[in-house]
Amino acid sequence: MLPQYYTVKGQGEHEINIQKSRFIAHIHRAETEELAQAFIQEIKKKHWDATHNCSAYLIGEQNQIQKANDDGEPSGTAGIPMLEVLKKRDLKDTVVVVTRYFGGIKLGAGGLIRAYGKSTSEGINAVGVVERKLMTIMHVKADYTWLGKLENELRSSIYQLKEIHYSDQVEIEVYVEQAQTDEFTDWMTDLTNGQTEIAAGEEVYLETDVV
């Protein structure tokens, strides 16, 4: 699992008009090629009457799966420019379909490359990008006498408080970057003079907005 990577925030679309042609960028997160293909087919079905439904996607930790499809546009003028935007933005697990309704004015190869690239870039901006960081959920158990101090210290620290459970003891769950788990454990131990139980839990990705 990657310690950190960027991807799109979710699903959405954004339309621009260039020389009377409509370009509608459809953006979606897809962690498998099957999901990417299903999304492409969904858009093609929705916009069955469009002149073109061009697509591109990047999937996998090392971008193992890369596909681009011009869907009838001159070779290399649509899918590849779209894919290059995904690469330039350093996005993973992302699929984009740009639907074009031809407006009667030919753009030429250069114009098409710019149009599909712009449509993809603006579509990504409209949907938003997130940074996903791999976190370890640290579990801290302590007597209730420590709750106020621990909560205050955590809220003003670099760590992110996830949840507080109240039972016979208080249990605090904290998101901690993998490389900082030892540092976090030492810090908690020092804060409470060793009067806490600290254990590492599951690893999860935490998302924060980039744009």
Mean pLDDT of the chain: 96
Q: Mapping DSSP to helix (H, G, I), strand (E, B) and coil, where does residue 90 land? A: coil
User: What is the residue type of 183?
Assistant: E
Encode pLDDT of 82-126 as tens digits.
Answer: 999 999 999 999 999 999 999 999 999 999 999 999 999 999 999
- pLDDT tier, 42 (very low <50, low <70, confident <90, very high otherwise): very high
What tokens were used for 195?
A: 């009067």
pLDDT average, residue stretch 149-159: 95
Position 58 scores a pLDDT of: 98
Segment 192-198 long-range contacts (CB within 8 Å, at least 24 positions apart): 192/142, 192/146, 192/149, 192/150, 195/142, 195/143, 195/146, 196/140, 196/141, 196/142, 196/146, 197/139, 197/140, 197/141, 197/142, 198/138, 198/139, 198/140, 198/141
Dihedral sign for Cα atoms in the order 153, 154, 155, 156: positive
Position 137 scores a pLDDT of: 98
Q: Which residue has the tokens 């090392």?
A: 62
Judge whether 46 and 161 are in contact, CB under 8 Å: no
CA distance 87 to 100: 22
Q: Please, what are the domains in the chain? A: 4-127 (3.30.230.30), 131-209 (3.30.70.240)
Encode pLDDT of 174-209 as tens digits.
Answer: 999 989 999 999 999 999 999 999 999 999 999 999
Residue 1 has pLDDT above 90, yes or no: no
What tokens were used for 26?
A: 């459809």
State percent of the chain over pLDDT 90: 97
Judge whether 171 and 165 are in contact, CB under 8 Å: yes
CA distance 31 to 92: 8
Position 211 scores a pLDDT of: 62
